[in-house]
Amino acid sequence: MPRTKASHHEPDVPLYFGLTPNQVVAYNLAQARQLRGWTQQQAIDALEPHLGSKWSIANYSAAERSIDGSRIRNFDADEITAFARTFDLPITWFFMPPPPWASPGVPTKLQTPDAKRFGAPLALLADLVFGTDEQAAMLTLRLQAFLEQLGPNPLTDAQRRVTDAVEVRKTQLVRHAVGDLQQWQTQLRALANHLEDLEARTTEG
């Protein structure tokens, strides 16, 4: 009886490695701990006063391992705020994009409900974190309004940077407006001179 030739199927290469926003937070949580050079136990001890409760090693380890996708933890705003305070990093740190390639030929994509089969570009995270120029201006002005309502309190370094940014933006807007006015004034003067010339010619005629 002839032997059936064994078929060798190459494993399918995935289209991409998808990460949900919660997995991005998990990745950056691990990066924050490595940045500080802490063990998981040290991170747990530092987190406790900001979380209001103490995580177990298993709980913390599972949070970092969410990146693997077997069991994804849903982080809430209270936890992400606690992470930022514990590791002395801005909240934006925890939404920074991971490396763009999961392995050779396999890109990392953002997995969201509307991304469907091909995933969303990972660079979308950068847009969501930093915003457009218009969105950044809106945030700056809103925070400036908040700081003004606080009254004459000492500003932190971050608050002072925002205040300085607002003043720079105001100066730019004024310069832009003045520049436009000067252009209009020049054009109106030229038009007025032209009308005077026409009137003079008409009178002479």
| Count: domains in the chain | 2
Residue 8 lies in a domain: no
150 belongs to a structural domain: yes
Question: Does a structural domain hold residue 10?
Answer: no
Residue 23, burial from CB neighbour count under 10 angstroms (0-12, 13-18, 19+): buried
User: What range does the domain containing 46 cover?
Assistant: 17-130
pTM for the whole thing? 0.71
**Which secondary-structure segment (H or E) carries 195?**
helix 157-204
**Does residue 68 sit in the same domain as residue 145?**
no
Joined together, the tokens standing for residue 156 give: 């932190």
pLDDT (tens digit, 0 to 9) for every residue of the chain, 205 residues total?
444 444 455 445 457 789 999 999 999 999 999 999 999 999 999 999 999 999 999 999 999 999 987 899 999 999 999 999 999 999 999 999 999 988 888 899 999 999 888 889 999 999 999 888 888 888 888 888 888 888 777 777 777 766 666 666 556 555 655 565 566 667 677 777 767 776 777 776 6
Q: Are residues 76 and 157 in the same domain?
A: no
Residue 1 forms part of a structural domain: no
